[in-house]
Amino acid sequence: MAAYKLVLIRHGESCWNQENRFCGWFDADLSDTGEHEAKRGGQALKDAGYEFDICYTSVLKRAIRTLWFVLDSIDQMWLPVHRTWRLNERHYGGLTGLNKAETAAIHGEAQVKIWRRSFDIPPPSMDDGHDFYQSISKDRRYADLTEDQLPSCESLKDTIARALPFWNEEIVPQIKEGKRVLIAAHGNSLRGIVKHLEGMSEEAIMELNLPTGIPIVYELDKNLKPLGPMQFLGDEETVKKAMEAVAAQGKAKK
Amino acid sequence: MSKYKLFLLRHGEGAWNKENRFCSWVDQKLSEDGLKEAQDCGRLLKEQGYKFDLVFTSILSRSIQTAWLVLEAMGQEWVPVVKSWRLNERHYGSLIGLNRAEMALQHGEEKVKLWRRSYDITPPPIEESHPYFLEIYNDRRYTTCDVPKENLPRAESLKEVLDRLLPYWDSTVVPEIRKGRTVLISAHGNSCRALLKHLEGISDEGIASVTLPTGIPVLLELDENLKPVKPRQLLGDQAKIQAAIKKVEDQGKAKQST
């Protein structure tokens, strides 16, 4: 018997996903496809009759707008929403803005795979000469972050290390109070939560591709241990297709 | 010398505005025109270089939708949005859902004029038999308010709107303004008017003739005591503002026959 239910949703395709560029903290918007995915995800939640009490998201518009589409679909726009940089996507440092296929051609598929898929090897830093240094590191939304908190690049390990404190200190108490939580975020910040919930190894989390725009449901016991594997809401084909699509990225185009 | 900037915004058209029905606490979404009004407003605020730190809305979808579209147009989706029933539109009691003609028929023109123009006369309360009673009071959002559901209003005068708005303004909005945060309040015709009455010291008689156009941002520049240092400014193209004011005033004029 589930004590709690938690729903996660990874935002859909962004304009940069479309171009296969490392996005990270760049505030790319959803593409038309991404908007459609968000609406479809919202519809799946509506059809299944989900009600929430509180929502969490990052400070990046592709996650926030995904949440907005969902809340509109399920007619719960009035829910409190907390935005936090700690749920942001992994910071891709000096790779931010680079096309993934080009990067693979320059550095080799193996190096790209290491940067994208290793647990604790960070990409090169984003230094102050980088095209996106001003628009990211100096953005007003990060004004309250200390020097230690503001990353210039992150490994998956780093991403998880700054996401989990928020999960533990802010989200978990709400779940334990019986609040039904919806989290709309990014592939790597959500991987952090999933790794933690399921006690997954570093190797295992690297292999896991969360589908986009598809609500992911966990049933948890009173200690917040999942009672079973994550469930996806939506039709089988949509789910299968989405997982295959993510795995295909990062391979150099011939 | 202005110390603080505060922005008020009355949301744009919902489906019932077209039919001249009092929407009030019924949770209608914006019409296509209303969506466009919000987007235009956001574009204007972006062009003029404004940066928000915090947005307050009611818990009615149309004010939230408006806030979201404004933030989207400005690329400021990350700005926190805080929602409260205390910014809701005035509760019109048993008049909810009626259009002007129906109201005049049921209650007489004079009575209707009184309820709309007076500061402190409350319309008849909404009863359980009212077609929209359950839609409103069965809605889960009203179990999340800082007041038990049974104590929420069943009808309000403009004075009663201010009575439930002011504590929120004082406890929650003012401290943020005093921290130097640029605040946007995305709300409704009457909740905005009630707040203006308070901030500008408008008399009980005077407030009757104050109407805010929809979708036009209102800038208030306040001193360190939160008193306006100059008259409120309606931002944007003057022709557009005049058209918006006229639209609201025309809706208020009594219509002939059906």
Residue B255 forms part of a structural domain: no
CATH number of the domain residue B73 falls in: 3.40.50.1240
**How many folded domains does chain B comprise?**
1
pLDDT score for A250: 35
Residue B10 forms part of a structural domain: yes
CA distance to partner chain B, nearest, from residue A169 (Å) = 19
User: Tokens 């900037």 identify what position?
Assistant: B5
The model's pLDDT over A146-185, given as tens digits with 9 standing for 90+, comes to: 999 999 999 999 999 999 999 999 999 999 999 999 999 9
Residue B257 forms part of a structural domain: no
Question: A165 touching B, CB under 8 A?
Answer: no
Residue A254 forms part of a structural domain: no
Residue A216 has pLDDT above 50, yes or no: yes
Residue A31 forms part of a structural domain: yes
Q: Tell me if B72 and A81 make a contact (CB, 8 A cut-off).
A: no
Residue B77 with chain A: CB contacts under 8 Å: 61, 64-65
Name the residue range of residue B57's domain: 4-249
Q: Tell me if A77 and B61 make a contact (CB, 8 A cut-off).
A: yes
The model's pLDDT over A98-149, given as tens digits with 9 standing for 90+, comes to: 987 878 887 888 888 787 678 999 999 999 999 999 999 999 999 999 999 9
Q: What whole-number distance in Å separates Cα of residue B114 and Cα of residue A92?
A: 63
Which positions ≥6 away from B20 have C-beta within 8 Å? B99, B100, B251, B255
Q: Is ipTM beyond 0.85?
A: yes
Token pair listed for A219: 């049933």
Residue B258 forms part of a structural domain: no
Residue B192 forms part of a structural domain: yes
